[in-house]
Structure 1
Amino acid sequence: MNKIRTATALTTLGLVAVMMAGCASAAADAGDGGDAAPVDELRLGYFANVTHAPALVGLEEGLFDEALGDVEVTTQVFNAGPAAIEALSAGAIDATYIGPNPSINTFIQSGGESARIVAGAATGGAALVVREGIDDPADLAGTTIATPQLGNTQDVAARVWLADEGFETDTSGGGDVQITPTENAQTLTLFQDGQLDGAWLPEPWVSRLVIDAGAHVLQDEADLWEDGEFPTTVLLVRKEFLEEHPDVVADLLEGHEAAVRWIADNPEEAPAVINGAIEKETGKPLADAVIQRALEHVTFSVDPHADTFETLVENGIEAGTQKEGSIEGLFDLRLLNEQLEAAGEEPVSAAGLGED
């Protein structure tokens, strides 16, 4: 039986309560939206990754459509966070599932004007996988490893870990270990062809390299965090959109919560649904063993684990991929907590880094 790890603080009866009440008062607090014209479309970004399963399930099961009613959900698929941030900053999308480090980057670079994290989505599910013959960090000297994109969450993790192991890297691909930002699908091909020695990746790519390409895990990122909990995916909304259309964001959150709940409540069906969504985007389904292994290493939760974000800021600065700056105000969890409280569940914390 496939094991899917979930940490949803939600109940079925609570969802009914949320749908009946709760969204209105939080929406009023998040922004009045009084002068904004109504919208008939919400443009949502996500990746075709297991760590973005709430997005995949929400779309496949019609949970976003059900929650948003007359507001149509249109989507754009990205390979990594920095590309999604470009689209968000340009106004091409309104919200996106994304890793924490690009969320931090855009907030700091915009002086807090670009976007807000409104919920968590996934924790865990990232690791450094390497070829045969690399059995110890010291064996990485002179090797080349891939990350999804310069400055994305796994790229930062790789650079900081390598520095802790005594290796120098730089953002142009030099140093004791060369880091080559590479699209995930291409990383698999290059690794199979012997052109890469390893990669720091999110799921399902970790499991694909392990099962399909004979790699092994040298460092599971979960082992670097207290209790193994580190945010992999959050739900980020453009600040202007949140202020002008808090009611639409509340409905998006309702669909998001329903998707997290669905994964928890349907452990037998979830792998096939998630795999089917990945197949639509990539043209090929994952092997059963890959999707099962990947899901065992990811926990789905609406808690963004805001208490880890100061450490993530320090990591980004150390990695040389972000500027110094404050992230106070990065989180706006009021709409989420209004729904959780209506469901009789404990609110999640912004850890002093915004509204909750």
Structure 2
Amino acid sequence: MKKIILFAMVVLLGAFMAACGSSNAEEGSNSEEVTIGYFPNINHVAGMVAEEKELYSESLPDGTTVNYQYFPDGSAFMTALETGDIEAGIVGPGPAMNHYTSGAEVSVVAAGSAGGTVIMARKDAGIESPEDLAGKNFISPRVGCTHDVQFETQMKEDFGMTTDRVNGEIKHVTGKPATYSNMFATGNVDVATVPEPWASFIEEEGTGEVLIDTPEVAYGETLPAAVFVTSNELIENDPELVQNIVDAHKNATEFIQNNPDEAKTIAIEKIKDITDQELSSEVIDRAWERIDFTYEVDAEVLQEFANSSYDLGFLDEQPDLSGLVDKQFIE
């Protein structure tokens, strides 16, 4: 009888331990978190669509918690990636390349979009052509960012002008693209290198006019306007997770290509949620025409752009981007 009781106790204890183990495993699966970063720019619509349609939750293992973090500029984004505050996301190619050449262990695993940069002049600023920019000031999101490099490359190579950063003729200031129209209206800046949809917003508001449109801007249609990046550590330690993340980004991009009207609606709503600015459908329609939503990325174009960044003095050494682009997850 004692043996029977002892056996029963062992069985019950084993069942209890198994139940505890099952509970812990379940808790472990639910504890996984992934944070994706992007900007409230139309070049980053893939991030907005993926968030709205919960595409990361569909692609990642069951129980994964997906968070999103929004950034005002590329430097803040790259810092968050390097410190592990985010696992992956969409950023301009400039910050990605600058941090890579500074020793950051990051990889571009896809593109986010191409095009969408417009150089705008303030209405009534007396600027009829780029030759009129001597003595004027221009604004970009950040020193050395993608749009800044595009503008300065254009001015130097095509018009022989540089900024006050190198004792040149054009004064440079920085600010958030969503504020550019107001800064034009108040006369605080003369020229802006603007990512969409803010160029189209300026056009609608009537505070500025197109000085150089996307096809004529330096690297305007060939350079990825946004790239999808992650850390080398994550690629090495969990390539399956990276594949799941990239798959969700690809699905978001294909959704944009196949459902442009719905994607535009999502963009309008997300930009309003993040920036408190509601853009009209006319603004989004105009901006859409300047952008190519693609996840394909060309390493050679990125290298050429990095060379321009070096020529402008944003990089201390001649860049070598060998190894920056890792296309295994989109092939």
Q: Deviation string for 1:113-154 (max 9, x for gaps)?
A: 520000011000001100233111111111111001111100
Residue 261 of structure 1 aligns to a residue in which SS?
Answer: helix
**Correspondence for 2:112 among 94, 100, 121:** 121
**Correspondence for 2:156 among 141, 163, 170:** 163
Q: Is 2:324 the counterpart of 1:333?
A: no
Q: Deviation string for 1:24-61 (max 9, x for gaps)?
A: xxxxxxxxxxxxx9871112110001000101111011
Q: What residue number does 1:105 align with?
A: 98
Q: Deviation string for 1:47-88 (max 9, x for gaps)?
A: 001000101111011112211142222111112211211212
Q: Is 2:290 the counterpart of 1:297?
A: yes
Q: What residue number does 2:40 align with?
A: 48
Are the equivalent residues in 1 in contact too, given 2:243–2:329 (CA < 8 A)? yes
Are the equivalent residues in 1 in contact too, given 2:115–2:220 (CA < 8 A)? no
Are the equivalent residues in 2 in contact too, given 1:118–1:331 (CA < 8 A)? yes
Residue 127 of structure 2 aligns to a residue in which SS?
Answer: coil
Q: Deviation string for 1:226-271 (max 9, x for gaps)?
A: 8932210010101112211211111111111111111111122221
Q: Which consecutive aligned stretches of 4+ in structure 1 deviate over 3 angstroms post-superposition?
A: 224-228
**1:16-27 equivalent positions in 2, closer than 5 A:** none
**1:278-297 equivalent positions in 2, closer than 5 A:** 278-297=271-290
- State the TM-score, normalizing by the size of structure 2: 0.85
**1:191-210 equivalent positions in 2, closer than 5 A:** 191-210=184-203
Q: What residue number does 2:17 align with?
A: none
Rate the CA distance shift 1:307–1:153 in 2: closer, same or farther, 3 A: same
> CA–CA distance in 2 between the matches of 1:169 and 1:128?
15
Q: Is 2:112 the counterpart of 1:130?
A: no
Residue 329 of structure 2 aligns to a residue in which SS?
Answer: helix
Are the equivalent residues in 1 in contact too, given 2:153–2:308 (CA < 8 A)? yes
Which consecutive unaligned segments of at least 5 residues does structure 1 have? Answer: 1-36, 338-356
> CA–CA distance in 2 between the matches of 1:98 and 1:227?
16
- State the TM-score, normalizing by the size of structure 1: 0.79
> CA–CA distance in 2 between the matches of 1:63 and 1:252?
9
Residue 160 of structure 1 aligns to a residue in which SS?
Answer: helix
Residue 155 of structure 1 aligns to a residue in which SS?
Answer: helix
> CA–CA distance in 2 between the matches of 1:319 and 1:83?
22
Which deviates more, 44-53 or 267-276?
A: 267-276
Rate the CA distance shift 1:279–1:227 in 2: closer, same or farther, 3 A: closer
Are the equivalent residues in 1 in contact too, given 2:115–2:221 (CA < 8 A)? yes
Rate the CA distance shift 1:225–1:142 in 2: closer, same or farther, 3 A: closer
Amino acid at match of 2:165: T
User: Between Structure 1 and Structure 2, whose CA radius of gyration is higher?
Assistant: 2
Identity %: 29
Are the equivalent residues in 1 in contact too, given 2:116–2:220 (CA < 8 A)? no
Residue 109 of structure 2 aligns to a residue in which SS?
Answer: strand
Q: What residue number does 1:66 align with?
A: 58
> CA–CA distance in 1 between the matches of 2:308 and 2:188?
28
Rate the CA distance shift 1:327–1:227 in 2: closer, same or farther, 3 A: closer
Q: What residue number does 2:308 align with?
A: 315
Corresponding pairs, count: 298
**Correspondence for 1:274 among 262, 267, 271:** 267
Which consecutive unaligned segments of at least 5 residues does structure 2 have? Answer: 1-27
Amino acid at match of 1:189: N
Are the equivalent residues in 2 in contact too, given 1:206–1:294 (CA < 8 A)? yes
Give 1:181 deviation, angstroms.
Answer: 1.5
Are the equivalent residues in 1 in contact too, given 2:108–2:230 (CA < 8 A)? yes
Rate the CA distance shift 1:128–1:87 in 2: closer, same or farther, 3 A: same
Amino acid at match of 1:86: T
